[in-house]
Amino acid sequence: MSVTHRLTAPAPGWTTTTDVVVVGSGVAGLTVALNVRKAGLRAMVVTKAMLDDGSTRWAQGGIAAALGEGDTPEQHLDDTLVAGAGLCDEEAVRTLVTEGPDAVRRLIATGAAFDRGDDGAILLTREGGHHRRRIAHAGGDATGAEISRALVAAVRSDPGIELIEHALVLDLLTDADGHAAGLTLHVMGEGQRDGVGAIRARAVVLATGGMGQVFSATTNPAVSTGDGVALALRAGAAVTDLEFVQFHPTVLWLGPEAEGQQPLVSEAVRGEGAHLVDADGVRFMVGQHELAELAPRDIVAKAITLRMQAQGAEHMFLDGRHFGAEMWEQRFPTILASCRAHGIDPVTEPIPVAPAAHYASGGIRTDPHGRTTVPGLYACGEVACTGVHGANRLASNSLLEGLVFAERIAADLADRHRAGELPERSVDVAAARAAQSVPLPPSEARAEIQRLMSRGAGVLRSAASMADTAAGLTLLAEQAYAHVAEEKPADPRVETWEAANLLLVGTALVAAAAQREETRGCHWREDFPERDDAWRRHLITTLTASGDPVSTPEEQ
């Protein structure tokens, strides 16, 4: 298989070489880099902004693992399967929950400091869908920041890991056998490696995180533009479960015009006993689910959305006034500060909240070793679909998935290296030139894509809403082609490459969501409100020869 489509970009002006090139510097990418080093392989980490600029740094609640007394991987497995609504790959989940506790211990050995009680034991909290206290946290609600700090410090102290910051990876390079052989990238700024270049490598690992920026309101940072999924599609890889986007129920509501990354009010706040109420103070989750406010996220997000619709309200409220100032300051310092920065004091008033795009349960399809369908191309973390999340991710399973499957990729690369199956690769320049160039939309298209996606493919979806969104996205793509024909193409630069990636992943997501005519997990169809087990199968998305995403139900 070879790369069939590429982003329009200048030819590479420089080339460098490594053993394993890792794209992304969140929990997944940095864990791969640290672990391939143990096998004696050189690693290069390429990242779009600063090393800590992905979602990892923003994670608040914590990392789930059966570490507590009386808890077992089996119970963690059960809760994960329930959240996944019949679409989890049970073996992948078993791997996650059994390898998870030791992976967290290794993370601690790398330097991450988790909150501990007076007896020295790791403190564990509960989050939605978990029947046990099994969420380890750091700095109260600053878990991701601590994990990121520890991993960044570890990679910075390893001279065998080269770090390239402020560099946008564009497309995959393959050799004549169709094996991944490196990638093209654009380095922002000035220096020896300025502009578009190429990295040659024995294997390529995508750890580019999520795609929340495809919607108007999201908890994801600006870098989460779905680049990895778009690159994989253009490279001929299969992606799956794209329709399962988790909308976090409780994101700080900043007004009707707010766009981009919005502050999260972690589920752990509900885990510690905050109540969801409407403007009249009614706890509307009570009686809707046995876990009330701690029901799985899709159920809470849907309940909030329905209540908002029924009452014509723009948001609901999260009431944690009964915690008192001391608990807010000690347990949730980040959330307290972010609410206060927006003029809301959770100690004295309920917090306005509404759902926003939070997590991509789907992504690039991988096997249990993180291998994609393109030989030599691996994926882990939020960009991957290992099968552990099914139709909906269980809270705090994502940091754990990033850790566990990153370690597995490194182990697979080490095994292949030892067996002599990871030779140097030569790049097939003719194949690279033969790939079709994807025209770039103008940078303003980003906001239009986000509006279209939130309007038609958000928490509530229907055939009509998604047809409108698909038509709007198609028009944007046609305009990009028309501008090329008129010899007025958009300039190739970060904003237009990101817009092209958002357009492709948005189009792929809507194609899958329109096809899945049922309600399951975090995919909610107003016109097909029931779960239909004829649909208990994955939708696999690939690109057609003309570059359009097409979704096919997996064979049973």
Ligand X SMILES: Cc1cc2nc3c(=O)[nH]c(=O)nc-3n(C[C@H](O)[C@H](O)[C@H](O)COP(=O)(O)OP(=O)(O)OC[C@H]3O[C@@H](n4cnc5c(N)ncnc54)[C@H](O)[C@@H]3O)c2cc1C
Q: Which residues are catalytic?
A: 297
Q: Which is nearer to ligand X, 58 or 323 (CB)?
A: 58
Which residues ranging from 338 to 397 are in contact with ligand X (CB under 6 A)?
359, 381-383, 396-397
Residue from the set 3, 32, 58, 332 that interacts with ligand X by CB under 6 A: 58
Beta strands in 236-380 (DSSP E): 239-240, 245-252, 260-261, 275-277, 316-319, 351-360, 363-365, 377-379
The DSSP result for 155-185, as a single string, is HHT-TTEEEE-SEEEEEEEE-TTS-EEEEEE
User: Is 262 among the residues that bind ligand X (CB under 6 A)?
Assistant: no
Nearest Cα to 445, choosing from 453, 456, 455?
453
In angstroms, the CA 152 to CA 27 distance is 9
Q: With contacts defined by CB under 6 A, name the span among 65-73, 161-169, 233-241, 317-325 that binds ligand X.
A: 161-169
| 144 in contact with ligand X (CB under 6 A) | yes
- Output 61 or 441, the one with its CB closest to ligand X: 61
Q: What is the spatial distance between Cα 369 and Cα 387, in angstroms, rounded to a whole number?
A: 12
- 407 near ligand X (CB under 6 A): no
Among the candidate windows 25-33, 155-163, 187-195, 271-279, which touches ligand X by CB under 6 A? 25-33
- Residue 186: partners with Cβ closer than 8 Å, 6 or more residues away: 9, 167, 168, 170, 195, 196, 197, 494, 497
163 is an interface residue for ligand X by CB under 6 A: no
Q: What is the DSSP letter of 281?
A: -
**Tokens linked to 118:** 């007076």
Q: Which is nearer to ligand X, 372 or 465 (CB)?
A: 372
Please answer whether residues 525 and 518 qualify as being in contact, where contact means their C-beta atoms are separated by less than 8 angstroms.
yes
Residue 28 vs 466, nearer CB to ligand X: 28
Cross-sheet strand order for the sheet of 377-379: 161-164, 43-46, 20-23, 203-206, 377-379
With left for phi above 0 and alpha for psi between -120 and 50, is residue 252 left, alpha or beta? beta
Give the closest residue to 351 by CA, choosing from 222, 249, 245, 218: 249
When asked if residue 93 is in the footprint of ligand X (CB under 6 A), the reply is no
| Cβ pair 536, 87 in contact under 8 A | yes
Among 21, 196, 211, 223, binds ligand X (CB under 6 A): 223
Under rule CB under 6 A, residue 9 binds ligand X: no
Is residue 227 a contact residue for ligand X (CB under 6 A)?
A: yes
The correct pick among 1, 15, 17, 49 for binding ligand X (CB under 6 A) is 49
- 59 touching ligand X, by CB under 6 A: yes
In angstroms, what is the minimal distance from the CB of 48 to ligand X? 4
Shortest spacing between CB 497 and ligand X, in angstroms: 8
Cα-flanking dihedrals φ and ψ of residue 526, to 5°? -65, -35
Residue 219 near residue 248, CB atoms below 8 Å? yes
Query: Least separation, in Å, of the C-beta of 434 and ligand X?
Result: 23
Site for ligand X in 458-517 (CB under 6 A): none
For ligand X (CB under 6 A), the number of binding residues is: 45
Q: Which stretch binds ligand X (CB under 6 A): 40-48, 92-100, 271-279, 515-523?
A: 40-48
CB atoms closer than 10 angstroms to residue 525: 22
Q: Work out how close the CB of 313 gets to ligand X at its nearest, in angstroms, rounded to a whole number.
A: 23
Task: Please list every residue from 168 through 187 that binds ligand X, using CB under 6 A.
Answer: 168-169
Residue 468 contacts residue 462 (beta carbons within 8 Å)? no
Determine if 521 is a binding residue for ligand X (CB under 6 A): no
Site for ligand X, rule CB under 6 A:
23-29, 46-49, 53-56, 58-63, 143-144, 167-169, 207-210, 219-220, 223-224, 227, 264, 359, 381-383, 396-399, 402
